[in-house]
Amino acid sequence: MKVCIAEKPSVAKDIAEVLGAKKRNDGYYEGNGYQVTWTFGHLCTLKEPRDYVERWRWWNIMDLPMVPSRFGIKVMEDSGVKKQFSIISRLVQNCDEVINCGDAGQEGEVIQRWVLHLAKCKVPVKRLWISSLTEEAIKEGFEKLKDANDYNNLYAAGSSRAIGDWLLGINSTRLFTLKYGQQKQVLSIGRVQTPTLAMIVDRTVEIQNFKPQDYWELRTVYRDTEFNSVLGKIQKVEKANYALEKIKEAEFTITTFEQKEGKESPPKLFDLTALQVEANKKYGYSADLTLKYIQGLYEKKYVTYPRVDTTYLSEDIHPKVPGILQKMQYYSRLTAPLLEKPIPKSKNVFNDKKVTDHHAIIPTGVVPSGVSPEEGKIYDLVAKRFISVFYPDCIVSNTTVLGEVLKLEFKATGKQVLSPGWREVYAGDKAKKKDEENLMPVFEEGESGPHEPRVDQKQTTAPKYYTEATLLRSMETAGRNVDDEEARELMKDNGIGRPSTRANIIETLFRRRYIARQRKNIVATQTGIDLINTIHNETLKSPELTGDWEKKLRLIEKGEYSAEDFKKELIEMVVGITNEVMFRKVEQGITILTDEELAAQKKAPKKKAAPKKKVSIDELKCPKCKQGSILTGKKAYGCSEFKAGCKFVLPFQFLNKKLTSKQVVDLIQKGKTTKIKGLEKPGSEEKVDGKLAFTPDFNIEIID
């Protein structure tokens, strides 16, 4: 018996139908020598801190950094998950071969490997690797099953990513929360999340602090064509007006008239980020929604695997292109001209060196039906982009005209489309054109005549807020401003996060209220700004440094970097960050004193002694054993020496009254609190006022 494990029930059903496994059982399909089951996505996860060391259950800064000697995994705490895992485990224990049918990517590999590890799989494992869920693709994939060991590097990269996020995320979040958090506010830190937030905060603060400045531009109109002075932005109005007065009466003379024919290549095929950018620009869809829609289209067999970061097709796709175009009946007006002649095999489209696990997102040729309006719009973007890459270049005429008045040079440019080429695919779109045509008259060099000069007063403008489209691009290029598609392609290995995770990172920042939407703009909230201001360690918030970690993860995937070295570097970084933050001086919550401020304080005249500092609960000693420190649990305070036998427990709430930090400190230090109002007597609803005190065996009682 062969057991196939897919990532979702719907995918398992598609595979079962192709394999002839028709019988539906509880948690799997069976038939024709196959059992086809599924994982519901993540069934397993890395162990939590408390699973390694019991005292790590509580947040104590003295336990940081937490670095397990060996990382472990466990089944997630969910009854449905545990039931499905037990089904998979039973099937795996009684089969002859396992076929990993998880999503063909890094995350899919990790999901499946963790399940097989905990299920104690001892039989050979094969790997199904496909880029679409059509019947043809599934059949072809099963004919070309790979050995699971071929993907060991992919798993090493995925597990390294998970371990890295655990080490940095959990340790940094606890560290900054315990050091700077106010009123039990959790300060969430993440390897990808924090540099992304830092970019948004930097842009928001830059805009908030921006002060517009006036400047002036000298322009003139000659033969209904506007020319701009090469002086550019003039900082003083007197200089602009002086130039205007000088040229008013003089004639304008054409010195150069140049027309050059140029070519505009079709835009590249979509990877996930490019699709999310386009959908945000055109329809205002968030990255998360676009991923949801394209994933839905993939599972319905209408498009290929979407979680990709390449804009190229592998060369073996070339023979299949005419068949796909032929099946795209709705677009027959656009595909018909392409099918009249052989499809060109351009290196701008087909390039094996640019494709790793998967190729760019393209239609499968299956005619869509039953899709939502939103899915239909996303499919249309993918379909038209696929068609357009096989159209010829757009031929344009670029015109440059130079003129002068009294040796002062002016310039005008324009563009005309001579042959639309690939732009024909988008001719019916209502979207605003990126480049409006600027038709210009024909000028003769040496001609001259009167003109209409003027001075325009303008102001410098602040940078634009990020939109999801521009934020995704910045994450892809590690914060660098890159417009050229080829340059972006080269920088993808150094981006922040992966295409499949960026949408979730952005949504996490929204959910934690570190950022907010203002129409299409993304702005940092005060909470987000405060958090980034708290973090002085540049490693945590630098896009470039985080991009370097991403590059190393990709090198692990290629077998060119050691996963163990990556882990060691991460541990060194976490230890360094912990030491730096723990020994940094803090004043009033999140206000951090710099080295210069500390030096200035030492030189300043000594003042009277400040009021006694408030004692925090985690600084207290256990009143019962006098040895351990106080730990904060989920429902109560406890002693760090509980393993040694100390059973001291102090609940957060007593007699239906939540204890304040001061009351807890008083009780532990002095043995009693000040008077508390509204305590409920046990067994009745009567409320009384009184002090709380410890009994000899450290239970709590009310005293007058």
Identified catalytic residue from 34, 305, 465, 561:
305
Cα–Cα distance for residue pair 567/570, rounded to 1 Å: 5
DSSP-derived secondary structure for 546-580:
HHHHHHHHHHHHTTSS-HHHHHHHHHHHHHHHHHH
Beta bridge partners of 228: 219, 411
Tokens of 197: 């937030």
Cα dihedral across residues 107, 108, 109, 112: positive or negative: positive
- Find the helix packing angle between 287-299 and 272-283, rounded to 10°: 120
- CA distances (Å), 547 to each of 76, 173, 495, 522, in order? 30, 20, 5, 22
Contact 390, 321 (CB under 8 A): yes
Is 151 annotated as catalytic?
no
Residue 162 to residues 71, 143, 169, 294, Cα–Cα distance (Å): 10, 32, 10, 25
Single out the residue of 612, 602, 280, 605 nearest to residue 466, CA to CA: 280
The strand pair at 700-703 and 687-694 is best described as antiparallel
The token duo for 328 is 């795209």
Q: Are 66 and 56 in contact (CB under 8 A)?
A: yes
Beta strands 34-38 and 2-6, pairing class:
parallel
- Best CA proximity match to 208, nearest among 548, 484, 518: 518
In the sheet that holds 408-419, the strands lie side by side as 448-449, 252-264, 394-405, 408-419, 225-229, 214-222, 452-459
Q: Let me know the angle formed at the C-alpha of 364 by 361 and 368, rounded to the nearest 5 degrees.
A: 105
* 3 in Cβ contact with 35 (< 8 Å): yes
Sign for the CA dihedral angle at 63, 67, 68, 72 comes to: positive
Catalytic residue set: 305
